[in-house]
């Protein structure tokens, strides 16, 4: 039976100094226990200045990884560079403190993608927040035009598909994976859903950079939607803050989900209502705080 190669791309930078060496070791050892035989662990190191290169050389000598060390322009620039080196037909992306906790997951995902001839596969992840609480991040592709439907750890990509789309847009330092997801849907790439929570990932520090997140989201919406609708400042503001989409544009988006039209509109309204209620409660809290001063 044909078993295509898979590459797991892992960007790193000063992980020893930052205290991630043990997490990185756990990730590699669990990857090594995957039942799928053809997995390449490709580490892209951003010319670390601590003891990270020593750690990586040790794991390379033991046969766990391949790695390259060179300056990059951010995580997604490193991932793009890795795509040209990766031998896998399919690629997944992990941060240095993420891990697969299901040893058959890669085999199951590859089998599903091969059977369905899919361009990408989404699956739920466990998401550990800063306060150590955990929630299940379940993909929601029907909301892709409003919010990022899943973290990059919850996606396997066909490498050829990524490269045909021009790889990740590395000018987005936080949300390049979201931009890619929108582009895949708008280019009618085929998706499959793997119904198994097989990866645990950690809330990135970048989630706290609200201003940058909103700026990148605004740029991504303008870039991808401007050919479909007049994306004025007001439209962009309401899309970023409320997930509100003008009806003509929403109807255009619905054409990307012809088999799930009714559910698409339902999920859109649910997301908008949730964001609007969240904003209302935030404004109420801000008002109460002002009164108490």
List per-residue pLDDT tens for the chain, 293 residues long.
678 999 999 999 999 999 999 999 999 999 999 999 999 999 999 999 999 999 999 999 998 899 999 999 999 999 999 999 999 999 999 999 999 999 999 999 999 999 999 999 999 999 888 788 888 999 999 999 999 999 999 999 999 999 999 999 999 999 999 999 999 999 999 999 999 999 999 876 656 668 899 999 999 999 999 999 999 999 999 999 999 999 999 999 999 999 999 999 999 999 999 998 887 777 776 666 667 66
12 and 118 part of one domain: yes
- Tokens, residue 39: 């997995």
181 and 262 part of one domain: no
Helices (H), the chain: 21-32, 52-61, 75-85, 105-116, 159-164, 176-186, 210-225, 233-242, 247-254, 261-292
168 and 258 part of one domain: no
Tell me, what's the pLDDT at 207? 60
- Of 208, 238, 264, which residue sits at a domain end? 208
The model scores a pTM over 0.85: yes
110 and 188 part of one domain: yes
Tell me, what's the pLDDT at 131? 83
Residue 213 domain-assigned? no
162 and 42 part of one domain: yes
From the list 155, 44, 159, the residue with the least C-alpha distance to 90 is 159
The three-class DSSP label of residue 199 is strand
- Of 176, 208, 240, which residue sits at a domain end? 208
Q: What angle do CA 260, 262, 268 make, to 5 degrees?
A: 95
Number of domains in the chain: 2
Residue 218 domain-assigned? no
196 and 238 part of one domain: no
- Of 174, 208, 242, which residue sits at a domain end? 208
Residue 21 domain-assigned? yes
Residue 115 domain-assigned? yes
CA distance 64 to 79: 19
177 and 268 part of one domain: no
200 and 233 part of one domain: no
183 and 246 part of one domain: no
CA distance 219 to 222: 5
189 and 76 part of one domain: yes
Residue 220 domain-assigned? no
Tell me, what's the pLDDT at 278? 81
Quick one: residue 44, left, alpha or beta (phi over 0 = left, psi -120 to 50 = alpha)? beta
Residue 117 domain-assigned? yes
CA distance 263 to 257: 9
Residue 216 domain-assigned? no
15 and 63 part of one domain: yes
Domain span including residue 124: 6-208
Residue 184, domain CATH: 3.90.550.10
16 and 160 part of one domain: yes
Q: At what angle do helices 233-242 and 210-225 cross, to 10 degrees?
A: 120
Residue 240 domain-assigned? yes
């Amino acid at each position: 039976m044909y078993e295509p190669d898979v590459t797991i791309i892992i960007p790193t930078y000063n992980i020893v100094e930052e205290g991630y060496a043990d997490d990185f070791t756990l990730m590699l050892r669990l990857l090594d226990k995957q039942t799928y035989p053809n997995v390449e662990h490709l580490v892209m190191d951003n010319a670390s200045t601590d003891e990270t290169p020593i750690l990586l050389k040790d794991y390379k000598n033991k046969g766990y990884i391949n790695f390259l060390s060179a300056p990059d322009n951010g995580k997604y620039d490193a991932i793009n560079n890795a795509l040209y080196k990766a031998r896998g037909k399919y690629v997944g992306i992990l941060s240095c403190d993420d891990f697969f906790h299901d040893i058959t997951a890669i085999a199951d995902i590859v089998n599903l993608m091969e059977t369905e001839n899919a361009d990408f596969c989404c699956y739920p992840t466990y998401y550990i927040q800063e306060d150590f609480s955990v929630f299940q991040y379940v993909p929601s592709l029907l909301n892709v035009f409003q919010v990022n439907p899943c973290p990059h750890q919850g996606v396997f990509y066909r490498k050829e598909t990524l490269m045909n789309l021009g790889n990740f847009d590395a000018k987005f330092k936080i949300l390049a994976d979201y931009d890619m997801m929108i582009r895949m849907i708008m280019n009618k790439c085929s998706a499959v859903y793997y119904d198994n929570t097989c990866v645990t990932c950690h809330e990135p520090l970048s989630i706290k950079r609200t201003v940058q997140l909103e700026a990148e989201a605004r740029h991504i919406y303008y870039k991808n939607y401007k050919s479909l609708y007049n994306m004025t400042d007001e439209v962009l503001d309401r899309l970023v803050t409320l997930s509100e989409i003008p009806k003509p544009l929403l109807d255009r988006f619905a054409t990307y989900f012809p088999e799930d039209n009714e559910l698409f509109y339902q999920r859109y309204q649910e997301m908008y209502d949730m964001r609007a209620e969240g904003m209302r409660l935030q404004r109420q809290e801000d008002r109460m705080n002002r009164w108490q001063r």
